[in-house]
Structure 1
């Protein structure tokens, strides 16, 4: 992408570390500051719908959704206006912040934006025994952990495919997590829209609410924060879907796919030129191997706690 339209640079682009899938840079020019994201197109888990996402972002920004202004989208590169704000730690957010997240989601779901038809997704991969064998053969540091959890990961894959989704399906952000949020004067700002798309409403609400209601694990889940997302959504006119395991299946399925993707990157053993650094992929694998079985085993407890 030609970045000259952004004005004369005041210095070189600066790498901003921490991305789980892509690479981010800050560019300061005479026209202001910009976030330039280099998308990982080499081994994405799904194709990137640049035109659809950019149209969706522009519509959301136009109605006042708190987010960085989308400036340009090209093959492999996204540009947004840089937004200053406080990072949101992986810890329960204030109830008022969660309530506003619910309100924002309800507003997003009313947007009338054309979206290209999406092919039916294939069944969740069940190659965990093969991956464990390859991990052991290549001496991966987490090979033993993967081998001990193969049956659990097969059970998780079955749950993801078998869980009934009650609908409706909405066009939404799909990735509201602490690391995709800022706090500006105590209020939310939504970042990283590139995974936007169609999703069962219960999956979006459950993933969002649980992500901001807990710490790094699942020992400290705040029901009041979880409920605040639902209450904000309903107060802003959103109709809540039926309660059940479908509220958690998207989070579990997404984490399962993310873990498998990082396992494949680690098995390749090459520092890729795009996407997360290899060390971060190893960290993501360890988090998935420990966190996913914990989350899956706590589903009945979470359903009861958050009902």
Structure 2
């Protein structure tokens, strides 16, 4: 991408570490500071629709959603104006912060933005026995744990494939997690819109609310924070869908696909020119192999807890 329209650089473009799939740089020019994101297109789990996402971002920014201003887009690069703020730790957020996230979602879902692609969810893979065998044959450090959980991963795949989604389907961010948020004077700023697309409303609300209501595991879940997201959504003009397991199916399915993607990267054993370092992929596999069975096993408990 030609970055000259952003102004004359006042120093070299600097790598900003901390992301996962993509690579981020900060560019300071005589016209301000910009976040330049190099997109990983080599081994993405789904097609990235750069122009559609950029159009959605522009509409959200114009509607007052707190986010970095989208500046430019190409097939493999995104540019936003740089925003200062505090990183949001992976722990339950304050209730007021959660409430405002709910309001933001309601504002997003009310936007009238053309989106020609009805679904971007990847197919559910059932090749867990084969992956476990390859992991064992190649001596992966997590091979034993994966092999012991093959039946559980097959059950999770069946759940994701057969869980009924009540609708409606909305155009939304699809990835509001603590690592995609900043806090500026205690209020949210929404980052990383690359996964935007159509999604069942219950899945978006459940994934967002649970991620903001818990820590890294599932031992510290704050039902009041979960409900604050929903209260904010209603206050912002949204209508809640029927309660049920569909509220968590996108979170579980996304984590399942993410774990499998990292397993395949580790089995390949070659560091790509884009995307995460292999050590980070190994860490993600271990987290998924241990965390997904726990989440799936506690699904009924979570539904009961969060309904109180």
Q: TM-score range by the shorter chain?
A: over 0.9
Cα distance in 2, alignment partners of residues 120 and 305 from structure 1: 30
Cα separation, 2, equivalents of 1:296 and 1:147: 17
- 1:226 paired to 2:226: yes
The aligned counterpart of 2:17 is 17
Q: Secondary structure at the match of 2:15?
A: strand
SS at match of 1:295: helix
Shift of 1:123: 3.8
Q: In 1, Cα distance between the equivalents of 2:11 and 2:189?
A: 27
Deviations 1:206-227 (A, max 9, x none): 0000001000000000000000
Segments of 5+ residues of structure 2 without an aligned counterpart are none
Alignment of 1:129-278 (within 5 A): 129-278=129-278
Distance of aligned partners of 1:247 and 1:171 in 2 relative to their CA distance in 1, 3 Å threshold:
same
The 4+ residue runs of structure 1 with deviation greater than 4 A are 119-122
Bigger mean CA offset, 263-272 vs 111-120:
111-120
Q: CA deviation at 1:122?
A: 6.0
Q: How many residues align?
A: 307
- Measured after TM superposition, the shift of residue 191 of structure 1 is 0.2
**Cα distance per residue 1:254-299 (max 9 Å; x no partner):** 0000000011111111111101111111111111111111100110
In the TM superposition, residue 16 of structure 1 has moved relative to its aligned partner by: 1.4
Q: 1:119 to 1:216 in 2, by over 3 A?
A: closer
Give deviations 1:108-133, integer Å, cap 9, x for gaps: 00000000234685640000011011
Structure 2 CA distance, aligned partners of 1:11 and 1:284?
35
Q: Secondary structure at the match of 1:45?
A: coil
Deviations 1:13-36 (A, max 9, x none): 211112221111111111111111
Query: Separation in 2 of the partners of 1:9 and 1:155?
Result: 53
* CA distance in 2: counterparts of 1:55 and 1:30, whole angstroms: 26
Q: Which residue of 1 aligns with 2:98?
A: 98
In structure 2, the residue matched to 1:31 is 31
Q: Which residue of 2 aligns with 1:75?
A: 75
Q: 1:220 to 1:112 in 2, by over 3 A?
A: same
* CA 1:222–1:162: 2 relative to 1, 3 Å: same
